[in-house]
Chain A
Amino acid sequence: MKTEESENFEELRRLLTLKRHEQPPPGYFTNFSAKVIARIEAQQHAAAQPWWQRLLSGFDTKTALVCASSVALGGLLIVGLTMGPSDGDLATAGLPAQPHAGLTSHPVVMAANVPVPAPNQPTMSIQPMSAQDQASSIDPVVNPDAAPRGMFSPNGNFEAPRLQNPALKPPTPPAQVNLQLNAQ
Chain B
Amino acid sequence: MVQAIALGVFSGATVPKPLATPEPNTGRGEELALIQRAQNGDTSAYDDLVQKHQERIYATIYHMTSNHEDANDLAQETFIKAYSALKSFKGDSSFFTWVYRIAVNKTINFLKQRKNRSAMSLNDLDFNAEHDPDLVALVSDKTPRREASLAELQEKLNEAMQKLSETHRLVVTLHDVQGLAHEEIARITECNVGTVRSRLFYARQQLQAYLSDYLKH
Number of A-B contacts (CB under 8 A): 112
CB contact under 8 A between A39 and B80, given known A8-B208, A17-B132, A29-B55 = yes
Q: Are A19 and B76 closer than 8 Å at their CB atoms? A: no
A24→B75 CA distance, assembly (Å): 13
CB contact under 8 A between A40 and B54, given known A21-B128, A23-B123 = no
A80→B137 CA distance, assembly (Å): 83
A36→B47 CA distance, assembly (Å): 8
Chain A binding surface SS class: helix
A139→B125 CA distance, assembly (Å): 112
- Check: A162 CB closer than 8 A to any chain B CB: no
Interface residue total, chain A, C-beta cutoff 8 A: 29
Which one of B23-31, B182-190, B209-217 is at the interface?
Answer: B209-217
- Check: B191 CB closer than 8 A to any chain A CB: no
Residues 1-31 of chain A, each 1 if its beta carbon lies under 8 Å from chain B, else 0: 0000000110111111111111111001100
- Check: A169 CB closer than 8 A to any chain B CB: no
Residues 35-76 of chain B, each 1 if its beta carbon lies under 8 Å from chain A, else 0: 000000001001100110011001000110000100010011
Q: Are A15 and B211 closer than 8 Å at their CB atoms? A: yes
- Please give me the 8 A-B residue pairs with the lowest Cβ-Cβ distance, nearest first: A21-B129, A14-B134, A33-B50, A22-B123, A11-B215, A16-B176, A19-B177, A36-B79
Which B residues form the contact surface with A (CB < 8 A)?
43, 46-47, 50-51, 54-55, 58, 62-63, 68, 72, 75-76, 79-80, 83-84, 122-126, 128-129, 132, 134-135, 137-138, 150, 153-154, 157, 161, 172-173, 176-177, 204, 207-208, 211, 214-217
